[in-house]
Amino acid sequence: MSAIITPNSEGRMCEYLLMLSPSDEVKEETMRIKRIFKEQYNCWYAVSSYPHFTLAYSFLNENEEEKFIKNLEDVAAKIQPFLVELYKFDRFSSSTIFIDMINKDPFINIGKLVKEKAGYMMKTYKKDKPEFIKNPHLTVARGMRKDQFEQAWAEWESVEINYHFDATEMVLLKKPEGGRKYETIKTIPFSGTASAGFIQGSLF
């Protein structure tokens, strides 16, 4: 069980989000689809966030930020840029519709490496536990009512797409505890020589 951390007087607690963004072209096309969900099915949550893949999430004391970034840079130094291929729509239960991908291994291995290298810093804080990517996907709409979902899913279930882009970096964002908006802290390029999808065992 993860230890519970409490803020100290020397630094504030912040939420840290490690993510991977799609290319501008894929991002624009995904936002176009999100706007369709908002306008056609009245799914306002669809446009509440920009397209991204969450790699890891945790609270952290701001004083540990520099060390945390160094650990993430060590991870990125072991990862080679890789191809992301998006090909169909899928769903979680009857409330979320997302765009699925062909090869999820590179994303999942990044999550494992972040946990291995920096997980000891990412402790449970209050009721929030650290998260590491396990099922990468690109969310279109979430929190849908049953009627919204059924109408949208009937029309998008069989739609095929062919989006692809090269993943070359990950981005770290943060916001103060209780804050409303994330700010970008660091863009960390992948600079490894072995494919993230074929990393085996410990690298550190």
Give the per-residue pLDDT at 133. 93
> How much of the chain is in helix, strand and coil states, percent to nearest 5?
35, 35, 35
On whether residue 39 sits in a domain, the answer given is: yes
CATH code of the domain containing 166? 3.90.1140.10
Give how many domains the chain has, as a whole number. Answer: 1
Give the per-residue pLDDT at 9. 45
Nearby residues of 27 by Cβ (< 8 Å), 6 or more positions away: 21, 50, 51
Bridge partners (DSSP) listed for residue 61:
13
SS3 156: helix
On whether residue 196 sits in a domain, the answer given is: no
Q: Which domain holds residue 139?
A: 17-190
Distance, CA of 46 to CA of 35 (rounded, Å): 7
On whether residue 36 sits in a domain, the answer given is: yes
Query: Higher confidence at residue 143 or residue 9?
Result: 143
Query: Which residue's entry shows tokens 């990044």?
Result: 110
Average pLDDT of the segment spanning 150-161: 95
Confidence of residue 92 (pLDDT cuts 50, 70, 90): very high
Nearby residues of 112 by Cβ (< 8 Å), 6 or more positions away: 132
On whether residue 4 sits in a domain, the answer given is: no
Give the per-residue pLDDT at 79. 95
Give the per-residue pLDDT at 93. 87
Give the per-residue pLDDT at 194. 52
Q: pTM, whole model, 2 decimals?
A: 0.85
On whether residue 91 sits in a domain, the answer given is: yes
50 phi, psi to nearest 5 deg: -80, 150
On whether residue 199 sits in a domain, the answer given is: no
Residues 169 and 110: beta-carbon distance below 8 Å: no
On whether residue 125 sits in a domain, the answer given is: yes
Tokens of 54: 């969450």
Distance, CA of 180 to CA of 182 (rounded, Å): 7
